[in-house]
Amino acid sequence: MNDFCTPNWVKHAVFYQIFPDRFANGAPSNDPANVQPWGTPPTPHNFMGGDLEGIRQNLSYLRELGITAIYLNPIFQSPSNHRYNTYDYFRIDPKLGTMEDFVNLRNNLHAYGIRFILDGVFNHCGRGFYPFHDVVENGSHSPYVGWFHIRKFPIHPYDGRRRPNYACWWGIRSLPKLNTDNPQVRQFLLSVARYWIEQGADGWRLDVPNEIDDDTFWQAFRQTVKSANPEAYIVGEIWKDARRWLKGDQFDGVMNYPLRDLLMDFVAKGSADAPAFATGLMRLLRRYPREAVYAQINLLGSHDTPRWLTVCEGDVRRAMLGYTLLFTLPGAPCIYYGDEIGMTGEADPHCRACFEWDRRRWNRRLYRHVRAMIALRHSSPAWRTGETDVLYAEGDVLAYARWQGEEVWMVTVNGGAKGWQGEIPLRKRAVPRVSRLEEVGTGAICAVSGGRTERISLPARSARIWKGVLASDGKG
Comparing C-alpha atoms, which of 278, 387, 255 is closest to residue 325?
278
Give the whole-angstrom CA distance, residue 203 versus residue 216: 19
- 237 flagged as catalytic: yes
Give the whole-angstrom CA distance, residue 74 versus residue 88: 11
| Phi and psi, residue 52, nearest 5° | -65, -40
Amino acid at 250: Q
Which of 101, 237, 291, 339 is the catalytic position?
A: 237
Query: For the chain, what percentages of helix, strand and coil (3-state, to nearest 5) are there?
Result: 35, 20, 45
DSSP class of residue 207? S
| Dihedral sign (CA 43, 47, 53, 57) | negative
- 207 flagged as catalytic: yes
Q: Let me know if 12 is exposed, middle or buried by CB neighbors in 10 A (0-12, 13-18, 19+).
A: middle
Residue 8 vs residues 199, 218, 232, 294: alpha-carbon distances, Å: 21, 21, 10, 9
Which of 207, 291, 339, 396 is the catalytic position?
A: 207
Comparing C-alpha atoms, which of 437, 443, 430, 438 is closest to residue 402?
430
Residues annotated as catalytic (active site), given as ranges: 207, 237
